[in-house]
Amino acid sequence: MTRGTVGATVAVEAAERSDAVTAALATVLDPELDRPITELGFVRSVSIDSGRVEARLRLPTYFCAPNFAWLMVEDARRMLAALPWVTDVTVVLEDHFASDEINQGVACGREFAEAFPLLSDPDRLGELRRTFLRKGCLAAQARLGRRLTGHGWTVRQMAEARLRDLPDRLTVTLVRRRRALGLPADGVDPVFTDEQGRPVLPVDMEAHLRRCRTTAVGIGANTEICEGLLATRYGTAAGTTAVALDNTRADSAGGAA
Amino acid sequence: MYTKDGVDYFVVDGHIHFWDASEENTANKYGEGFIRCFYDYQRNLSPAEWVWPLEKFRKYSEQDLVHDLFETGYVDVGIFQPTYLSEFYTDGFNTTERNGRLAAKHPDRLIVNGAFDPRAGEAGLAELERLAAQWQLRGVKLYTAEWRGSSKGWKLSDPGAHDYLAKCAELGIRNIHIHKGPTIWPLNRDAFDVADVDHAATAFPELNFIVEHSGLPRLEDFCWIATQEPNVYAGLSVVMPFIHSRPRYFAQVLGELLYWLDEDRITFGSDYAIWSPRWLVEKFVDFQIPEDLQSEYGVLTTGVKRKILGLNLARLYDIKVPESAQVAVVAGQTDRMSAGQVPA
């Protein structure tokens, strides 16, 4: 540790900035896996030099879908740029077949469709993002349904449950995904809803939870493959480079289980 | 044939390759990236003793394949699924021609599938006829996410695809294997999207649609379609290797497939040479759903395992199965794994 008042202040400020950067990156999700990139080990390194921040990202394979990669790079850049003390942001995606197009495209504020003019259609990326947020909502409900069923809740009780009836730590992921979709997510709103935010009736609850469960198993299995491939590509410690700050972990651990 | 505890399992490996990704045949950085990506799949999900040196993985011999499938891998019949990748590899990666030369030496053990791309139009239809005549095709492998010229992939529901599927029905090509998986080009759509399978399966009830990798990342979308379409099947390639390092997820994915589809529409595939059938078959026969998941997913019976490992594909490809490996029909006993099935 640095000794002396000035040194200590600088050290504290550096630590705070480092924490702020990690926290900002922890809000960036892999859209498909519905998990923060910090937890997945996709953040290889971060460097901070007064107001300049550089984050280097890496993915499980050379051919990971460039559209999803684009969303992560773009989100990381936006979240870092929103920090009040940041003057200059660089986000670099490494070891990807489309690294150049993605890094330059995002840095110049282009749209995905502009960076890959012949290979994509305009306006489709936002739709894709919403599709996966909807899946995230279903997967979060699967975890809640399992937990509540385990505590003896009936389908009627679940259908009547409001978000305020459950502790925040259990609903944080669901609430975030719903807000991102512009769906009702206040305390008075129901816990269990379909993709459009409509409440689930008791008679439909069992089938609804089945579909939610299958969604969660799919996302979980996909995550297992991606985490394994990342570790294979970069060594077994690949997943531990960044500290997970997003408390979604509290209710997303173990995927479907 | 695999025999364990006095029970015979007839094994049809529905997803095998004979590729060439040697340095001499690799045309560019995409080809290099592709084979290394495949290699990471092998390294990630295989037991350590089943990981090959990279050089062997790039190009293995006919003898390797025959040894790993038939001499030690318990496979009775293997089905080649071609992957052309002509822009990455000078002579193609894993073409029908390359597979066919090997299959010609083992006509009773190896089945060659073809491929088509509806964007090739009339010429492609003629080429499909030629391939069918040359190799007596009973199946094709399709890549809907492949980029071609200014086209960003295609869908089974496209009018052009309809003509090709009609041609398949006419030529007796009944088994349509569809790869739903990573695309190598920057499309902003979801390359895994399985919605188009629904349309084609309804339009062609006489054809079987085997979705390879079970639509895994989009498992729920796939299951939803398969529930409604009795001629849609789940191929277990890529899913099966989970059995070694992630058995719990394997149990859950298989449990979901059995719940939504049933045991008659799930097929084994090793994806050789990414994975080898020997360890997959051995582990699968020994596998059981973990106890704490059995209330949701039930248990795996011998009959279910026999169907998945070989009997289901034997039915689709008209392969004769020895009497000793048939599923026994015992009055009052069902091989169903879980209750509440939808009709198949």
Angle subtended at Cα B322 by Cα B320 and Cα B328, rounded to the nearest 5 degrees? 110
- Residue B340 domain flag: no
- pLDDT value for B343: 37
- pLDDT value for A245: 34
**Token pair recorded at residue B47:** 């037991």
In chain B, the number of structural domains is: 1
Mark yes or no for CB contact B188/A116 under 8 Å.
yes
Query: Per-residue pLDDT tens for A45-82?
Result: 999 999 999 999 999 988 888 888 999 999 999 999 99
In this prediction, residue A246 has a pLDDT band, given cuts at 50, 70 and 90, of very low
Residues of A in contact with B44 (CB under 8 A): 225, 228-229, 231-232
Closest partner residue to A120 (CB to CB) among B152, B220, B248 is: B152
- Residue B203 domain flag: yes
- Residue B48 domain flag: yes
Mark yes or no for CB contact A218/B147 under 8 Å.
no
- pLDDT value for B334: 44
Mark yes or no for CB contact A217/B44 under 8 Å.
no
Residue A225 at interface with chain B, using a CB cutoff of 8 Å: yes
Residue B186 at interface with chain A, using a CB cutoff of 8 Å: yes
- pLDDT value for A14: 87
- pLDDT value for B181: 62
φ/ψ of A89, rounded to 5, equals: -120, 135
CA B277 vs. chain centroid, Å, equals: 13
> At residue A249, does pLDDT exceed 60?
no
Residue A89 at interface with chain B, using a CB cutoff of 8 Å: no
Percent of chain A whose predicted confidence (pLDDT) is above 90: 69
In terms of Cβ atoms closer than 10 Å to its own Cβ (0-12, 13-18, 19+), residue B63 is: exposed
Mark yes or no for CB contact A120/B186 under 8 Å.
yes
Residue B185 at interface with chain A, using a CB cutoff of 8 Å: yes
Position A76: which residue type?
Answer: A
Residues of A in contact with B294 (CB under 8 A): none
Residues of B in contact with A120 (CB under 8 A): 152, 186-188
pTM of the full predicted structure? Answer: 0.88
For testing contact with chain B, the best of A59, A63, A208 (most B CBs within 10 A): A63
**Measured between alpha carbons, how far is A180 from A178 in angstroms, rounded to an integer?**
5
Query: Per-residue pLDDT tens for A124-145?
Result: 788 888 989 999 999 999 999 9
- Residue B331 domain flag: no
- pLDDT value for B191: 66
In this prediction, residue A241 has a pLDDT band, given cuts at 50, 70 and 90, of very low
Closest partner residue to A221 (CB to CB) among B36, B183, B249 is: B249
Mark yes or no for CB contact A63/B41 under 8 Å.
no
Residue A126 at interface with chain B, using a CB cutoff of 8 Å: no
- Residue B162 domain flag: yes
Q: How many CA atoms lie within 13 A of A70 on its CB side?
A: 30
**Measured between alpha carbons, how far is B303 from B316 in angstroms, rounded to an integer?**
17
- pLDDT value for A252: 39
Position A61: which residue type?
Answer: T
Mark yes or no for CB contact B33/A233 under 8 Å.
no
Query: Per-residue pLDDT tens for A197-240?
Result: 999 999 999 999 999 999 999 999 989 989 999 999 998 654 44
Identify the closest residue of chain A to B340 by CA–CA distance: A207
Q: Which residues, other chains included, contact B71 with Cβ-Cβ below 8 Å and sequence gap of 6+?
A: none
β A88-93/A52-57 pair status:
parallel
Interface size A-B, in CB pairs within 8 Å, comes to: 116
Beta-bridge mates of residue B234 = B211, B266
Residue A144 at interface with chain B, using a CB cutoff of 8 Å: no
Residue A64 at interface with chain B, using a CB cutoff of 8 Å: yes
**Measured between alpha carbons, how far is B329 from B323 in angstroms, rounded to an integer?**
12
- pLDDT value for B213: 86
Closest partner residue to A218 (CB to CB) among B44, B217, B245 is: B217
Residue A97 at interface with chain B, using a CB cutoff of 8 Å: yes
In chain A, the domains with their CATH numbers are 5-115 (3.30.300.130), 125-231 (no CATH)
3-state secondary structure chain A: CCCCHHHHHHHHHHHHHHHHHHHHHCCCEECCCCEEHHHHCCEEEEEEECCEEEEEECCCCCCCCHHHHHHHHHHHHHHHHCCCCCCEEEEEECCCCCHHHHHHHHHCCCCHHHHCCCCCCCCCHHHHHHHHHHHHHHHHHHHHHHHHHHCCCCHHHHHHCEHHHCCHHHHHHHHHHHHHHCCCCCCCCECCECCCCCECCHHHHHHHHHHHHHHHHHHHHHHHHHHHHHHHHHCHHHHHCCCCCCCCHHHHCCCCC
In this prediction, residue A4 has a pLDDT band, given cuts at 50, 70 and 90, of low
**Measured between alpha carbons, how far is B156 from B168 in angstroms, rounded to an integer?**
13
Query: Per-residue pLDDT tens for A164-203?
Result: 999 999 999 999 999 999 999 999 999 999 988 999 999 9
Mark yes or no for CB contact A233/B147 under 8 Å.
no
- pLDDT value for A204: 97
Q: Distance from A71 to chain B by nearest Cα, in Å?
A: 10
- Residue B236 domain flag: yes
- pLDDT value for A237: 55
What is the signed CA dihedral for A211, A132, A218, A93, rounded to 10 degrees? -170
Q: What is the CATH number of the domain that holds B190?
A: 3.20.20.140
CB A42 within 8 A of CB A73: no
- Residue B342 domain flag: no
Chain A segment 2-61 residues within 8 A of B by beta carbon are 32, 60-61
Q: Phi/psi class of residue B111: alpha, beta or left (left: φ > 0; alpha: ψ in -120 to 50)?
A: beta
Per-residue pLDDT of chain B (344 residues; tens, 9 = 90+): 999 999 999 999 999 999 999 999 999 888 898 899 899 999 999 999 999 999 999 999 999 999 999 999 999 999 999 988 888 899 999 999 999 999 999 999 999 999 999 999 999 999 999 999 999 999 999 988 777 777 767 899 999 999 999 999 999 999 999 987 655 555 656 667 888 999 999 999 999 999 998 878 789 999 999 999 999 999 999 899 999 999 999 999 999 999 999 899 999 999 999 999 999 999 999 999 999 999 999 999 999 999 999 999 999 999 999 999 998 654 444 444 443 333 33
**Measured between alpha carbons, how far is A185 from A179 in angstroms, rounded to an integer?**
6
Domain enclosing residue B19, as ranges:
2-325
Q: Which residues, other chains included, contact A237 with Cβ-Cβ below 8 Å and sequence gap of 6+?
A: none
Residues of A in contact with B33 (CB under 8 A): 62-63, 97
Q: Residue A200's CB: how many other CB atoms inside 10 A?
A: 22
In this prediction, residue A122 has a pLDDT band, given cuts at 50, 70 and 90, of low
In order, the DSSP letters of B114-142 are B---GGGHHHHHHHHHHHHHHHT-SEEEE
